[in-house]
Amino acid sequence: MPELVVTVARFGFLILLWIFVFTVVGVIRRDLFAGARSGRLVAAPRGVGAVLGQGGKPARVKRGKAARQLVVTAGQLAGTRITLGEAQITIGRAEDSTLVITDDYASARHARLVPRDGQWFVEDLGSTNGTYLDRAKVTGPTPVPLGVPIRIGRTSLELRP
Amino acid sequence: MTVAATSNSPPTTPGGQGGVRLARSRRNAELSLLLLAMVLVAAYGAMVEASVLDTVTPSFWVPAAALSAVFLGLHVAIRFLAPFADPALLPSVALLNGLGVGFLHRLDLARATPAERAELATFAGIGGRQLAWTLISVALAAGLLAVVRDHRSISRYAYTLGLAGIVLVMIPAVLPPSISEINGAKLWIRVGGLSIQPGEFAKLALLAFFAYYLVRKREVLSLASRRFLGVDFPRGRDLGPVVVVWLISLLVLVFEKDLGTSLLYFGMFVATLYIATERVSWLLIGLVLFFGGAYLAYVLGELIGGPFANFYLRANIWLDPFADPYNDGYQLVQGLLALGSGGMFGAGPGAGQPLKLPEVQNDFIFAGLGEEIGLFGLSALLVVYLLIVERGLRAALAVHDSFGKLLAGGLAFTLGLQVFVIVGGISGLIPLTGQTTPFLSAGGSSLMANWLLIAILLRVSDAARRPVAGGGASSTRPPGGPPEQLHGAPTEVIRP
């Protein structure tokens, strides 16, 4: 084997090794930010019929965007994101909740978020300390606008597009 | 935004669901990364042959192709069994495993005489054995993914697993040394030509038990506590079983004379406890206990010897490896020299002298590799380990249930700690304790256990990244109809 070929191969291998590392980092990085624009990925049925859907639903035309994510903004789970689908989200300390919050002021089955016609409703499930939408206590199913905090004990949640 | 997003989704699937889901699951990214990793493994094999044999044989690609086939098989299995699993895990592990097989094959080539080299079969030698073990391990990992469809179902067998873990740890301790002892450490079960290291599997079983138990007791642990010296201690009765498990495994390990493994169990225990309670005080207590214990073992080893003599010797080698470079310190000194002569860019694959290193196929594989790929290559490998651990911790952060969080966090931490213990030992940062380098070292048990660990991480990350959408059932629900009942939620009650 010529010396030159071996040397080129040697350094080429090391460079390829680092290219692999950076490609993995790239995949992870895109993965991290995928959440910010993940709407298209989950709300596919709606996205495909986007033109029709928007025409038929004035509520969403007014708001412009549908909620695609539930983000925990304060409390122990701050930073957690749940991609919203078609299923309801239950919140509480019980292990079988969709979002299990370890908050001393939360009940086992505290509240739930239910989608109806593209709009999410928050509903208190008879919790001890109550659920608050912004400042108002939630008594019945209440529509949740984007970016308005839902407060449960020390935890704060928001719907994001 | 909605319109722009629609144009991004693959136009070939009018239904949307199939193609869009694939885009999110990022399996194609995994596939291309995997292919890149396999190209690296094949290139490594070719360069080894170019250096050792001075020519590249026409069959240099056979081990790499066999590895590619089995990893692609696992990739396909993941597409069906865990479509939302993390895309970075499999390629990273595949690269490490492939380079491990390549390096072991390189050792075979160096050991064989020129006449034997030509007819070195694919599955011959330690490299070939490692290749065979890889096939078995990956098949096992796929099997685990197929059997465990929801990581929470592991928690149903938590107590069984805990018991199994203790039994696995204890088997080598009670067996006669002739069966269980290799190089002074009683960690093996040797049956015929086969040696099994049950401690590797015990690691997984014990961690599943810790995770389950701490989830059940988490509220009590963080609420009911006694304040002592400004630190909140949990009540003894809540912590009892876990401490007992830990003490038993630790005691047994003292009798098995392997401090690396006992450090691994201890770190695993402290990390799970910290993740469960979110109290920094546990880390402090753990560190103090560990350093206190290590110092005590050192002093005891100097005074009375016995089971501590081994550690005393190793600590002294660590303090001054060059004090006795031809006997006690020989292995570490050779390792340091190998790393040093590798320098920044290494001698090139196949151009080093790994056979001068004792145990180069096990504990010192990192030093052997370091001589040939240098600091530049070694740090790439370390970053790959770091990325695997990061993806595990990421899955732990993202998954919604506490058991999954503890399981994935604990497993990822354990993997990272094991790399730290062995690489730290080789580079002289901490006293050398015999540990396998995950995925690189020769050894079936270690490879199998670590692949099972990765399978669990894949399973948890799949659960973490899966969209909350309830699937077909909920989307066909007539709009405006009554919402599903609370217990119709896609999560499942785990109550044994």
ipTM rounded to 2 decimals: 0.82
Report whether pLDDT(B127) > 60: yes
Give the model's pLDDT for residue B14: 37
Q: pLDDT for B133-149, tens place per residue? A: 999 999 999 999 999 99
CB–CB contact A21 B387 (8 Å): yes
Most B CBs within 10 A among A27, A57, A65, A122, hence the mutation to make, goes to: A27
pLDDT-derived band at B371 (thresholds 50, 70, 90) equals very high
What mean pLDDT comes out for the span A88-107?
Answer: 82
pLDDT-derived band at B103 (thresholds 50, 70, 90) equals very high
Helix (H, G, I), strand (E, B) or coil at B23: helix
Give the model's pLDDT for residue A32: 66
Q: Which two tokens stand for residue B473?
A: 């059932």
Report whether pLDDT(A53) > 50: no
Is residue B158 within 8 Å of B213, Cβ to Cβ? yes
Max mean pLDDT range (A124-133, B136-145, B204-213): B136-145
CA distance A45 to A41: 10
Give the model's pLDDT for residue B488: 34
Q: pLDDT for A111-127, tens place per residue? A: 888 888 778 888 888 88
Place of tokens 């479509």: B83
Give the model's pLDDT for residue B226: 63
CA distance B452 to B448: 6
Exposed, middle or buried: residue B377 (CB in 10 Å: 0-12, 13-18, 19+)?
A: buried
Q: Which helix (H) or strand (E) holds A160?
A: strand A155-160
What mean pLDDT comes out for the span B227-240?
Answer: 65
Beta-bridge partner residues of B227: B232
Q: Which two tokens stand for residue A66?
A: 């549908």
% of chain B surpassing 90 pLDDT:
33
Query: For residue B380, which residues of chain A lie inside 8 Å, CB to CB?
Result: 14, 17-18, 20-21
> Could you tell me which residues come within 8 angstroms of residue B185 by beta carbon, excluding any fewer than 6 positions away?
B256, B257, B258, B434
Give the C-alpha distances (Å, rounded to integers) separating B468 from A88, B461, B463: 9, 14, 10
Backbone angles phi, psi at A54, to 5 degrees: -70, -35
Choose between B428 and B22: higher pLDDT. Answer: B428
Q: Which of A64-68, B324-328, B396-400, B414-418 has the lowest mean pLDDT?
A: A64-68
Choose among B161, B271, B146, B140: nearest CA to B212.
Answer: B161
pLDDT-derived band at B496 (thresholds 50, 70, 90) equals very low
Report whether pLDDT(B458) > 90: yes
pLDDT-derived band at B173 (thresholds 50, 70, 90) equals confident
Give the model's pLDDT for residue B377: 93
In this structure, are strands A111-116 and A119-124 parallel, antiparallel, or unpaired? antiparallel
Choose between B187 and B396: higher pLDDT. Answer: B396
What mean pLDDT value characterizes chain A? Answer: 75
Is residue B91 within 8 Å of B72, Cβ to Cβ? no
Report whether pLDDT(B231) > 80: no
CA distance A149 to A133: 6
Is residue B489 within 8 Å of A88, Cβ to Cβ? yes
Give the model's pLDDT for residue A48: 36
Is residue B170 within 8 Å of B185, Cβ to Cβ? no
State the DSSP code for B348: -
> Could you tell me which residues come within 8 angstroms of residue A135 by beta carbon, excluding any fewer than 6 positions away?
none
Is residue A68 within 8 Å of A39, Cβ to Cβ? yes
Give the model's pLDDT for residue B479: 40
Choose between B496 and B166: higher pLDDT. Answer: B166
Give the model's pLDDT for residue B33: 94
Give the model's pLDDT for residue B249: 65
A-proximal residues of B, 75-114, CB under 8 Å? 87-88, 91-92, 95
Task: Supply the angle between the helices B27-52 and A3-34 in degrees, to the nearest 10.
Answer: 160
Report whether pLDDT(B472) > 50: no
Is residue B75 within 8 Å of B24, Cβ to Cβ? no
CA distance A139 to A159: 19
CB–CB contact A87 B474 (8 Å): yes
CA distance A148 to A157: 8
CB–CB contact A98 B491 (8 Å): yes
> Could you tell me which residues come within 8 angstroms of residue B158 by beta carbon, excluding any fewer than 6 positions away?
B208, B209, B211, B212, B213, B496
CB–CB contact A41 B492 (8 Å): no
Q: Which of B300-304, B423-427, B482-486 has the lowest mean pLDDT?
A: B482-486
Query: For residue B218, which residues of chain A lie inside 8 Å, CB to CB?
Result: 102
CB–CB contact A96 B468 (8 Å): no
Place of tokens 């490692």: B130
pLDDT-derived band at B184 (thresholds 50, 70, 90) equals low
What mean pLDDT comes out for the span B116-137?
Answer: 82
CB–CB contact B24 A37 (8 Å): no
Give the C-alpha distances (Å, rounded to integers) separating B299 from B266, B322, B430: 20, 22, 17
Give the model's pLDDT for residue A84: 80
Q: Which of A26-30, B115-119, B396-400 has the lowest mean pLDDT?
A: B115-119
Report whether pLDDT(A8) > 70: yes
pLDDT-derived band at B389 (thresholds 50, 70, 90) equals very high
pTM above 0.80, yes or no: no
> Could you tell me which residues come within 8 angstroms of residue B316 by beta carbon, excluding any fewer than 6 positions away?
B323, B328
Choose between B494 and B391: higher pLDDT. Answer: B391
Task: Supply the angle between the helices B198-223 and B158-174 in degrees, to the nearest 10.
Answer: 130
Give the C-alpha distances (Å, rounded to integers) separating B344 from A4, B375, B380: 19, 5, 12
Give the model's pLDDT for residue B253: 64
Nearest residue of B to residue A96 by CA position?
B493
What mean pLDDT comes out for the span B455-468?
Answer: 89
Is residue B268 within 8 Å of B417, Cβ to Cβ? yes
**Alpha-helix runs per DSSP H in B399-443:** 402-426
Choose among B475, B17, B20, B3: nearest CA to A51.
Answer: B3
State the DSSP code for A138: P
Query: For residue B13, which residues of chain A lie inside 8 Å, CB to CB?
Result: none
Give the model's pLDDT for residue B4: 39
Amino acid occupying residue B108: D
A-proximal residues of B, 300-339, CB under 8 Å? none
What mean pLDDT comes out for the span B289-312?
Answer: 80
Q: Give A33 to chain B, closest Cα distance, Å.
A: 12
The DSSP result for A64-90, as a single string, is -S---EEEEEESTTTT-EEE--SS-EE
Place of tokens 């071996």: A6
Give the model's pLDDT for residue B336: 92
**Proportion of chain B in helix, strand, coil states, percent, rounded to 5:** 70, 5, 25
Q: Which helix (H) or strand (E) holds A158?
A: strand A155-160
CA distance B328 to B316: 9
Q: Give B30 to chain A, closest Cα distance, Å.
A: 9
Nearest residue of A to residue B472 by CA position?
A86
Query: For residue A10, which residues of chain B lie inside 8 Å, CB to CB?
Result: 47, 345-346, 348-349
Choose among B400, B467, B403: nearest CA to B24.
Answer: B467
Q: pLDDT for A11-47, tens place per residue? A: 999 999 999 999 999 888 876 665 444 333 333 333 3
**Alpha-helix runs per DSSP H in B224-308:** 236-256, 259-277, 280-303
Query: For residue B402, which residues of chain A lie inside 8 Å, CB to CB?
Result: 95, 100, 102
State the DSSP code for B444: H
Beta-bridge partner residues of A152: A131, A155
Give the model's pLDDT for residue B369: 92
Report whether pLDDT(B72) > 70: yes
HSE toward the beta carbon, residue B113, CA cutoff 13 A: 2
CB–CB contact A14 B376 (8 Å): yes
What mean pLDDT value characterizes chain B? Answer: 80
